[in-house]
Amino acid sequence: MTKEKINNSFNKLEQARSRLSSQLENIDNEKLNAFPAGDKWSIAQICHHLILSERLSLIYIKKKLHYKTNIKNTNFVSALRLLLLKTAFTSPFSFKAPANVANPPEHSSLAEISEDWEKVRLDMKKIIEELPNEFLTGNIFKHPLAGKMNLNHAIEFFIFHFNHHRKQIERLLE
């Protein structure tokens, strides 16, 4: 694992966010915050869910890196967990979001969403830049269902998590 690979993954994630921001820039606040039928989230709530899941993951990563205890290296099991998680996200089944990321605000503007997301991504970029080489393959990320993985796995999860929810957003935009 190299920082170059982690940066490449991060750049893919940032490009996806940029494309979504471009799609949403002409959407008015009413449509951004409109609730679809049932207990589904609005576009704004989906965005906040993504932001919150990234933010809480970064808090965990920072804590692991601060204490530097019990950081074991990634093995094939970590990669397998990521693959299983990816498979679950691409399956036709839906899963409830973990409670700590399941309560996005009911209303917000695109400017608020963009500002919050920018802060989270700058924080993520800083973590990547400052990550000591000895932790490049360390299990410093913990997914609520899949368990511990390394930073590149975390960013790969963020990518397919983002893509999963981007599809929801695109359905709401139609």
What pLDDT, in 10s, does the model give residues 44-102? Answer: 999 999 999 999 999 999 999 998 878 989 888 888 988 988 888 887 777 778 778 88
Tell me the pLDDT of the chain averaged across its residues: 92
Percentage of the chain modeled with pLDDT above 70: 100
- Could you tell me the two tokens for 63? 């804590």
> In Å, how far are 8, 150, 158, 160 from 166, measured between CA atoms?
20, 24, 12, 9
Q: Quick check: 65 and 46 in contact, CB under 8 A?
A: no
SS3 assignment, position 93: coil
Question: How far apart, in whole angstroms, are the C-alpha atoms of residue 11 and residue 9?
Answer: 5
What pLDDT, in 10s, does the model give residues 95-126?
Answer: 778 778 888 888 999 999 999 999 999 999 99
Residue 161 binned pLDDT confidence (cut-offs 50, 70, 90):
very high
SS3 assignment, position 155: helix
How confident is the model at residue 151, as a pLDDT? 95
Question: How far apart, in whole angstroms, are the C-alpha atoms of residue 88 and residue 106?
Answer: 27
Residue 38 binned pLDDT confidence (cut-offs 50, 70, 90):
confident
Question: How far apart, in whole angstroms, are the C-alpha atoms of residue 90 and residue 87?
Answer: 5
User: Could you give the residue ranges of the DSSP H alpha helices within 25-150?
Assistant: 29-32, 43-67, 76-90, 110-130
